[in-house]
Structure 1
Amino acid sequence: MTDRSAQLHSLSIDRDEPEVRSGVSLVTVLGLLVVTIAVTAALMWFFVAPQAPAPATSPVAANTPAAVQPATETPPPARTSGLVASGYVVARRQATVSAEITGRIRDVLVEEGTRVEEGQVLALLDDTRARIQLDLLQSQLNAATARIRSLAAQLTEARLVASRASDLAARDIGPQANVSATQSQVDSLVAQLAAARADREAAAVMVVSQQDLVDRHIVRAPFAGIVIAKNAQIGEILSPSSAGGGFTRTGVATLVDMESLEIEVDVNEGQIGRVSPGQRVEARLDAYPDWRIPAHVEAIIPTADRSRATIQVRVAFDERDNRILPDMAARVIFME
């Protein structure tokens, strides 16, 4: 019974012995908890950046007026009068160039965008018949000049004959009838010579007139500018008095003086009192909305449009630029 009691006693649990396994498990759990808290705090610090505290403002500084603090002075910007008008860019000098006569176009020497000077040749008309007539008149002038020379020589000879006849008659050697006949010949040649000289002057005038007609077959630029439209082609008929259509043209090209560009705007007649000649203006083109162009009021047209109750105002640019083109839409802002 003693051995069996000893074996049963060895299988019993001693309540006074410390629980080693339970102790190790608790430490592990506590360690994991500490690590989890540390990782969580680190993540919160990483993703949520701390903000620097605002500097404390003392009551004295808060009550100090802002005017006593130094600041950089800048000039005040130009103020607008609140008046805005719309219009278009127009040219004061613009012309559709044509010839003064009717003729067939032989050559056109310009294209759109060509810059020309005053007097430059734009086109040529067929002047064949005009030159033939000029040659004929020149021949008639030469013939009149030659006839004058012939009559002048005949007159010189007739005067010598008349002089001899007078001498012979004075010495009673020759008849008096010879004196009369030779003198009559002289008078006739004098009259013929005067008529020949008049004919030569008339022929010279006709030659000059025909030369002017030949020159009219040349179309020249009336002023310096840029060609914005080519209105005719080679072979078409040009006639300044024609209404156009078919192969008949009334002009060769449209020429614009870019130095005369300005803006025409319509201002409501109730606001015209806020506009004065010479007033500063800021122009803006619809093609370049961020480009502010300095300008000024050139003139106020002294008449009103009763249908729209507006008055036209001309605005001139203070500076020229190749980007400004005719018929561009523009807005004008009037300055105080």
Structure 2
Amino acid sequence: ICTIVDMDSLEVEVDVNEAYINRVRPGQGVTASLNAYPDLDIPAAVIATIPAADRNKATVRVRGGFKSRDPRILPDMGVRVAFLGEELEAAETPAAEPGVWVPRSAVAGSGTDRHVWVVLDDAEGAPFVERRNVVVGTAEGSRVRITAGLRSAERVVVSLNAGLEEALRDGLRVGLAD
């Protein structure tokens, strides 16, 4: 018995919370990050939304295709994805500054002492926050590009205010809003 794989047509399948599925559309840009290579961001695009929901998990499956072939991508590898908005796709050019876009409200500090609060999951899957120093690049409207310290597909606290910033500390367990 053997498994035959067409390496030229590898795809990524992810489960998206049904509350957010209205934001996903065919052709939308996706950045994929393999668990085996977390610093490697691979461009992809949404191929289709599978027209069936998983009632137990309240998710909908989405298929995406990689824009280019990479020998590090193997079948059944773990992957994290970030769906890009229309403005992000339009802003990306081959000469674009590297990094990820976040809302201005997610970045705290000033000058060269800037940071975000990244939401991670502990061994039991419970979310907690971690302060992460970042380098801020260009700014456009209500968003800024983080050029170092944050990877695509990482979750951040997006609405920092003075009271919340003072209450956060490394390792603090948090609840996530839908």
> Normalising TM by the smaller chain, what interval?
0.3 to 0.5
The TM-score normalised by the length of structure 2 is 0.47
Compare the two structures and name the one with the higher strand fraction: 2
**Structure showing greater relative contact order (alpha-carbon pairs closer than 8 Å, 6 or more residues apart):** 1
Compare the two structures and name the one with the higher helix fraction: 1
